[in-house]
A = this chain, B = another copy of it.
Amino acid sequence: MTRMTNPLILKLDQRDRLSDDEKRALENAITRIRVVEADEDIVREGDRPAESCLLLDGFAARYKIVSNGRRQISALHVAGDFIDLHSFLLKTMDHGVSALTTCRIAHVPHATLEKITDEYPHLTRMLWLDTLIDGAIHREWLTAMGRLSATAHMAHLICELYLRLKTIGRAEGDTIQLPITQAELGDTLGLSTVHVNRVLQELRKEGLIRFQGDALTILDWERLKKVGEFTSTYLSLQNEDR
In-complex Cβ contact of A91 among B94, B142, B143, B242 (8 A): B242
CB of A118 within 8 A of chain B? Answer: yes
In-complex Cβ contact of A64 among B117, B131, B139, B190 (8 A): B139
CA gap between A147 and B72 in the complex, in Å: 6
Q: What are the residues of chain B within 8 A of A118 when measuring CB–CB?
A: 121
CA gap between A236 and B48 in the complex, in Å: 13
A218-242 interface code vs B (CB 8 A; 1 in, 0 out):
0000000000010001101010101
Of A17-25, A49-57, A122-130, A168-176, the one touching chain B: A122-130
Ordered by A's residue number, 26 sampled pairs between the chains whose C-beta atoms are within 8 Å are A62-B139, A64-B139, A64-B143, A66-B147, A67-B229, A74-B142, A75-B139, A89-B125, A89-B129, A90-B129, A90-B132, A90-B133, A90-B136, A91-B236, A92-B236, A94-B136, A95-B139, A114-B125, A117-B121, A121-B124, A128-B128, A131-B132, A138-B142, A145-B146, A146-B187, A146-B189
